[in-house]
Amino acid sequence: MAPQVVLTGDRPTGRLHIGHYAGSLVQRVELQNEHRQYVLVADLQALTDDAKQAQAVRRNIVEVAIDNLAAGVDPAKSTFCVQSRLPELAELTFYFLNLVTVARLQRNPTVKLEIAQKGFRRSIPAGFLCYPVSQAADITAFKADLVPVGEDQVPVIEQTIEIVRAFNGIYGDTLVEPKARLSTGPGARICGLDGRAKMGKSLGNAIFLGDSEDELRRKVRAAFTDPRHLRVSDPGHLEGNVVFAYLDAFDPDRQGLAELKSAYVRGGVADGATKERLFRVLNELLTPIRRRRRELEDDRAAVIRILEDGTAQAKSVVADTLARVRTAMRLDELV
């Protein structure tokens, strides 16, 4: 059986944080050893919710690549490519837009949630409303049959499948139908340091892969714990406690963590002690990533070459898909 083709990627809206690491980067490192993996830097999709940030998005393309490389995604095993350098994706998106209704896009649970989070109300950019169609074009252009996603992105894969089936039903069997691979485990969805459901740069509640040791310590000290745990002797609560949520995701000493939880719930463990443990765990995780990041930042030209070479390789794949689509639609025929 041939290896599956995997498409994964990031919108370059800022540096990657430990939520990205737990939710996607670990998977990429694992998947690249057994599958044909493309890592798409989706800079065009990053503009769908803020077109005024084009220069920031452009700068972040290299930063996102550096974060991936520092975390262990190997350009010899995974192909890095930039969305805006592949115009075939935009053409494919245009064809797919004719296969989905505005009402269907408005019902997409992922889109509805993000519209509410961003406070668009009725001022929704058309590009943002349609970004699941753009993602469908990305997935099918790479002939991806496996797409790693969190639970919140499953509706986007479902919409892609609908588009693929609609296209193949009209024009014949042309496009590959993808499957979602769900992130699993405690690290699948990391909340923000302040206890909010989402971690992000704009919310000021994220630990980034490139944070210094001092930055990491400061952020961990500010992490939300248990507001009812006023004295060390008070029984503590684990539910909603960000420190223990992060320890669940990243602490490799499962027995020691279980013992700490029991002691905390009984009472007698200070929040400062739990935060110090979390700092040690995260600092051990991030130290080699920081070191690798510094090396990559000192040779940004090499990172740019990785993006350029990967994009050139990807272009032949997406161009082939587009050619098949145009042939199926008989767009190359004048009569």
The answer to whether residue 129 sits within a structural domain is: yes
CATH number, domain containing residue 180: 3.40.50.620
- Give pLDDT, residue 2: 54
- Do residues 156 and 135 make contact, with C-beta atoms less than 8 angstroms apart? yes
60 and 181 part of one domain: yes
Nearest in space to 289 (alpha carbons), one of 103, 98, 75, 26: 26
pTM more than 0.85? yes
288 and 306 part of one domain: no
The answer to whether residue 185 sits within a structural domain is: yes
141 and 13 part of one domain: yes
pLDDT over 70 (residue 187): no
Q: Cα–Cα distance between 174 and 124 in angstroms, integer? A: 33
The answer to whether residue 150 sits within a structural domain is: yes
Lowest-confidence region among 9-18, 82-91, 111-120, 168-177: 111-120
- Do residues 12 and 62 make contact, with C-beta atoms less than 8 angstroms apart? no
CB contact burial 16-55 (16+ within 10 A = b; e otherwise): bbbbbbbbbbbbbbebbeebbbbbbbbbbbbbbbeeeeee
309 and 264 part of one domain: no
Query: Which residue range(s) make up the domain with 311?
Result: 5-190+300-329
User: What is the number of other CB atoms lying within 10 angstroms of the CB of residue 204?
Assistant: 11
Lowest-confidence region among 15-19, 87-91, 135-139, 255-259: 15-19
246 and 221 part of one domain: yes
Report the number of distinct structural domains present in the chain: 2
Helix H segments across the chain?
A: 18-20, 26-31, 43-46, 54-70, 87-97, 102-107, 109-118, 126-129, 131-141, 154-171, 213-221, 242-250, 254-266, 271-297, 300-329
Q: Cα–Cα distance between 209 and 301 in angstroms, integer? A: 21
Residue 17's SS3 state is: strand
161 and 281 part of one domain: no
The answer to whether residue 200 sits within a structural domain is: no
Mean pLDDT value of segment 118-130: 81
> In Å, how far are 42, 56, 75, 159, 201 from 62, measured between CA atoms?
12, 11, 14, 30, 17
Write the single-letter amino acid at 17.
H
164 and 225 part of one domain: no
CATH number, domain containing residue 230: 1.10.240.10
Mean pLDDT value of segment 184-208: 75
37 and 138 part of one domain: yes
CA torsion, ordered 209, 215, 218, 220, to nearest 10 deg:
10
pLDDT over 90 (residue 23): no
Mean pLDDT value of segment 221-239: 92
31 and 98 part of one domain: yes
247 and 261 part of one domain: yes
The band of 194, judged by pLDDT with boundaries at 50, 70 and 90, is confident
96 and 171 part of one domain: yes
Mean pLDDT value of segment 67-79: 96
174 and 74 part of one domain: yes
